Amino acid sequence: MSIQTPPATEISLRTVSYGHPDAVALNDRVQLEYAERYGDEGDITPLDPSMFTPPRGLYLIAYDEAGTPLATGGWRAQDKNEEGYEDGDAELKRMYVIPEARGLGLARRILAALEADARAAGRKRMVLETGTKQPEAIALYASSGYEECAKFGLYRFEELSRCYAKAL
């Protein structure tokens, strides 16, 4: 018996505004997933499209050849503040792959592009916050060289929160 593999699909990463309609739609989907996993209203971190404007941030969407948005992620600049960030931090936000496109390496591809962009922008460290009910995310970050670090950000006092960092 042979296993059929789907035909290769050309994937492109495009820089978009965090306010772009596709970004908003994907953000709505990830918020629903957070709510399902954690039983709450999702991530309430205040985000504004200007936070992802180069050179102090970047927002990417992966599209297939038909123009369907499949995955998203961004980074925003952070510096030392009362929430535990350090000077030169780039904070990873809104990494998400739609369920139908999981397993294609899209998250890893977006992560690498965001790291490269943050490094080129002079950021020193990529940081992120995720939760214990997202084991797939934790596995991705661990396999990409991220190590658990002191908690920071809005969820730093939450038991289910985990924070990771990687030198750029």
Average pLDDT in the 120-138 region?
A: 97
pLDDT in tens, 24-65: 999 999 999 999 999 887 788 989 999 999 999 999 999 999
Residue 23 forms part of a structural domain: yes
Domain assignment of residue 130, given as a range: 12-167
Q: Using the 8-state DSSP alphabet, how is residue 1 labeled?
A: -
Whether the CB-CB separation of 43 and 128 falls below 8 Å is answered with: no
User: What CATH number is associated with residue 52?
Assistant: 3.40.630.30
pLDDT of the residue at 1: 40
> In the sheet that 12-15 helps form, which strands lie side by side, from edge to edge?
12-15, 57-63, 69-78, 89-97, 125-131, 161-167, 147-148
- Which of these ranges, 2-6, 95-99, 118-122, has the smallest mean pLDDT? 2-6
Residue 1 forms part of a structural domain: no
pLDDT of the residue at 8: 56
**Two tokens, residue 131:** 């939760």
Q: Calculate what percentage of the chain has a pLDDT beyond 70.
A: 95
The pTM (predicted TM-score) of the whole model is 0.92
Euclidean distance between CA atoms 129 and 153, whole angstroms: 8
Residue 153 forms part of a structural domain: yes
Average pLDDT in the 79-87 region?
A: 96
Nearest Cα to Cα of residue 90 among 61, 60, 124? 124
Number of domains in the chain: 1
7 pLDDT more than 60: no
Euclidean distance between CA atoms 102 and 139, whole angstroms: 14
Distances (CA, A) of 136 to 16, 51, 92, 94, 98: 25, 26, 16, 14, 13
